[in-house]
Chain A
Amino acid sequence: MNTLYATLGFLGVYAYVSFASLLWGGLDRKLVARMQRRMGPPLLQPFYDFLKLVGKESIIPRDANRFFEIAPVLALATSIALLAYTPLGFEPIFGTKGDVILFIYLLTLIGFLRVLGAVSSGSPYAQIGAQREMIILVSREGPMMLALFTILWRLNELGVTKPFSMGTFYEHNVWELGTPLSLIGTFVLLLVFMTWLASEIEVGYFDIPEAETELAEGTMAEYSGRHLALFELANAIKAFVSASLVVAIFFPWGISGYLGLSGVAAIVVDLLFHTLKVFAVLFVSMSVFRAVTGRLRINQAVGLFWTRMLPAAIVGALLLAIDTLGVVA
């Protein structure tokens, strides 16, 4: 019986997140357009795009192999699977011990499936895009994992019930731990996470694999019709999920407790409030970032991660460690 409820809830979450992530796509385009003194497309444009693409014929290149068609399906399946482990204002539906590792793997798998699909298409643009995607993937995961594991280790020190799982973020608030030293450390880690988020959803500086003016959409160059629609949806959900991770770590407050709600009502209110926080994080990391920066070269982006973000993550980790272990006490 419990499994049935969990499954139904999961389907509900999937439907809701698909809607919310596509809605964010429209909001983002409208907000960026206003920042650039344009009108921008209608708010529901991503929905129209999605529906149009679903109804269109998908053109398969002559040189493509089977993975070209399989990759988008797998990408969407992976992003749906991700939702089972994503904290959305409440503990993940299928959360268990140590599901953070699974979460990161699944998040990386979407990028990997994009690469697989691009390489399978046989187009030179897609191949260059795939090369770039792989390089940036390897660079961005290091600092982010260090930052994530530092925080998890910090929470684990406090003796949580399920160590190294997504649910632990809700048990303690990272900002309320320790002295100002760890506050600074957490802030540094927040910066690392915001940069990682921008890179994960490929905007601004990190719009490198899909560089429209350089590679004609790079990894997505050969995709059209239904397959493109699947990738678009997978990417939109991925953006929502990645931002959810940042929200869960750094902004884990819920409002249902203050309103005195419980049961389904509390879950719904928390989910809506979580969506609001996700939109706020994405607004900073996506819309504003996209409006005020251009695209970097691949070596500059990789350099940014290895020479700026990794040291920043190390500094943040050291600050937290010093504070926790009491070296400067």
Chain B
Amino acid sequence: MNGKLEYWVKVPVGPIHPALEEPEKFIITLDGERIINVDVKLGYNLRGLEWIAMRRNYIQILYLAERICGICSFSHNHTYSRAVEEMAGIEVPERAEYIRVIVGELERIHSHLLNLGVVGHAIGYDTILHLSWLARERVMDILEAIGGNRVNYSVNMIGGVRRDLEEKHVRAILDMIEYYRNEVMPKIEEIFLYDPTVEARLRDAGVIPKRIAIEYSAQGPTARGSGVKKDVRYNEKLSVYPDLGVKPITPKEFTGVVKGDVFDRMVVRVGELWQSMELIERAIDQMPEGKIKAVPKDNTLLFQLKKAEGEGIGRYEAPRGELIHYVMGQKGKDVPAKWKMREPTFPNLFAIARALVGEQVADVPVAIASIDPCLSCTDRVAVIDANTGRKRVLTERDLLRLSIEKTRELNPNVKAKPEVVGVGCPRGGVL
């Protein structure tokens, strides 16, 4: 081979691909079965949530934040609330903090069980998928009992929680933990720690060394799987978590080695399932009586927030990693001047893209699934002119013009004049 001949193949994984749940594109350059380059293309699923939020008041944004992602709906909600509470200086009652911990950990259990199944599916081991998702039904039922919904349970409120935890809920949660301890966890541990097929596929796949994890600022189980002791609940002494004795979990405690591969990330998730159950039990034990909202009435709360000014940052360890919400208030308005979030998938995505170089094409789906990507909440938009390479920012008017042009192009029969009124949402509160 004289080195001049280019014989590699470019394979697009996505925007529509059976291994990806959401539209996103990875352009993978292959030399045989070996990956020599991975290019991540974002921006297929941008929903303009920040823009929509600028037209809603603080409490309405709560419901929008919940719909950023269906899996960590409570996490987004919680983080946003923390940001607003910091900005407005609202003290959250202790009981509310405990309820938040319980719901947050329940959500972590359901998210991790989901991801364990997805990883099983990615290696073609569909039995794992079906059995772990079957086990997940139980925690979804509990979440439904607490919040009224299986997915967006809207338990959270600025300055507390909307729903109290009753005696029957507590009993159901303890029953559920017993079920998981005795029936589900032994099976999960057997599969993810000792099954030879799973080990053959997950070991040494998608290796993120500790140095790369720190350099790319990987988050959550991805970072902890590489041996970085990073957990917002522990490092930041978040809410009541220090009282519950939370610790970052690394694979070292289970297997004795840290390689930073997919296997280690799964081990971390299995460990966190155990930890979450323990945290819930302790939280139920220690939970004090008292009120659950700092401000009982929403109108009063909105009025209080209207007077608030300044910035607030909320941080929380979502199941996938550190979640940051930034809120900037403006005086005299019940609409934030700026709301911005950063999801754990964003840094993790580039870390895993870096880690895939040099590995086999068979590892792509399982490596991508192992960071538990939530692509719809990660999406960013940037319009770049392919010829000049110049970036351009689209304004509201541009987007409207583009959408009208597209409609005309697709359906020339549309005769009605487009009106700017009616675009987006009406300003001000509905409450």
Known: A36-B131, A216-B17. A296 touches B200 (CB 8 A): yes
Listed from nearest, the 9 A-B pairs whose CB atoms lie closest are A294-B125, A295-B124, A36-B130, A294-B123, A213-B19, A297-B362, A213-B365, A124-B11, A294-B124
Which of chain B's residues has its CB closest to A216's CB? B18
Does B54 reach chain A (CB closer than 8 Å)? Answer: no
Report how many residues on chain A are interfacial, defined by Cβ distance under 8 Å. Answer: 30
Instruction: Give residues in A with beta carbon < 8 Å to B.
Output: 35-38, 124-125, 127-128, 131-132, 204-205, 207-208, 211-216, 291-300
Total cross-chain contacts (CB, 8 A): 77
Chain A residues in 8 Å Cβ range of B264: none
Chain B residues with CB under 8 Å of A124's CB are 9-12
B282 in contact (CB, < 8 A): no
Contact pick for A214, options B9, B12, B32, B365, CB 8 Å:
B365
In terms of DSSP, what is the predominant structure of the interface of chain A? helix
**How far is B45's CA from A167's CA once the two chains are assembled, in angstroms?**
61
Closest Cβ neighbor of A38 among chain B residues: B130
Find B201's partner among A128, A212, A291, A297 (CB 8 Å cutoff).
A297
Give the docked Cα–Cα distance between A11 and B361 (Å). Answer: 44
Classify chain B's interface size: 20 to 34
| A38 to B125 CA separation, bound complex (whole angstroms) | 15
Contact B123 A37, beta carbon cutoff 8 Å = no
A205 to B362, CA, bound (A): 13
Chain A proximity of B9: nearest CB distance (Å):
5
Q: Is the CB of A294 within 8 A of B197?
A: yes
Interfacial chain A residues near B121, Cβ < 8 Å: 213
B187 to nearest A CB, angstroms? Answer: 12
Interface assignment of B122: CB less than 8 Å from any CB of chain A: yes
16 A-B pairs with CB atoms under 8 Å apart are A36-B126, A36-B127, A36-B130, A124-B12, A204-B124, A211-B124, A213-B123, A215-B361, A216-B18, A294-B123, A294-B198, A294-B201, A295-B124, A295-B125, A297-B201, A299-B360
Within B134-151, which residues are at the interface with A (CB < 8 Å)?
134
- Asked if residues B11 and A293 are in contact (CB atoms below 8 Å), the reply is no
Distance A205 CA – B12 CA, assembled complex (angstroms): 25
CA–CA, A127 and B32, complex, Å: 10
Cβ-defined partner of B197 (8 Å) among A208, A213, A293 = A293
Which residues in window 102-143 of B have CB below 8 A to A?
A: 120-128, 130-131, 134
Contact of B124 among A125, A207, A216, A298 (CB under 8 A): A207
Nearest to B20 among chain A residues (CB) is A213
Which residue of chain A has its CB nearest to the CB of B118?
A: A213
Inter-chain contact B122/A297, CB cutoff 8 Å: no
- With A295-B201, A299-B360 given, is the CB distance from A214 to B125 under 8 Å? no
In the bound complex, how far is the Cα of B124 from the Cα of A293, in angstroms? 8
Chain B CB within 10 Å, residue with most, of A38, A127, A204, A213: A213
User: Using Cβ atoms and an 8 Å threshold, which residues of chain A touch B208?
Assistant: none
Interface membership of B33, Cβ < 8 A? yes
- Taking a contact as CB atoms under 8 Å apart, the answer to whether B365 and A128 are in contact is no
Is the CB–CB distance between B32 and A131 below 8 Å?
yes
CB nearest to B129 among chain A residues? A36
Residues of B241-292 contacting chain A, CB below 8 A: none
Complexed CA–CA distance, A12 and B344 (Å): 61
CB distance from A214 to the nearest CB of B (A): 5
Extra contacts besides A213-B123, A216-B17 (6): CB < 8 Å: A36-B127, A205-B197, A212-B124, A213-B122, A215-B361, A296-B200
**B302 interface residue, CB < 8 Å from A?**
no
| Nearest Cβ on chain B to A225's Cβ, whole angstroms | 19
Q: Are B361 and A214 in contact (CB under 8 A)?
A: yes
How far, in whole Å, are A35 and B131 apart by their CA atoms in the complex?
10
Residue ID in chain B nearest A210 by CB atoms: B124
The answer for the CA separation of A38 and B363 in the assembled complex, in Å, is 28
By a CB distance below 8 angstroms, the chain B residues around A300 are 200
Contact A127 B127 (CB under 8 A): no
The one of B10, B33, B124 that contacts A131, using a Cβ cutoff of 8 Å: B33
Among residues of B, the one whose C-beta sits closest to the C-beta of A292 is: B127
- CA distance in complex: A296, B363 (Å): 10
Q: CB-CB < 8 A to A295: which residues of B? A: 123-125, 201, 362
B155 interface residue per 8 A CB criterion: no
Closest approach, in angstroms, between the C-beta of B50 and any C-beta of chain A?
33
B120 contacts A128, CB within 8 Å?
no
Q: Could you give, for residues 360-374 of chain B, a 1 whenever the CB lies within 8 Å of some chain A CB and a 0 otherwise?
A: 111111000000000
Asked if B65 is at the interface of the complex by the 8 Å CB criterion, the answer is no
Contact A298–B127 (Cβ < 8 Å): no
Q: Are B360 and A298 in contact (CB under 8 A)?
A: yes
- What is the minimal beta-carbon distance from B27 to any residue of chain A, in angstroms? 11
**Minimum distance in angstroms from A120 CB to a CB of chain B:** 16
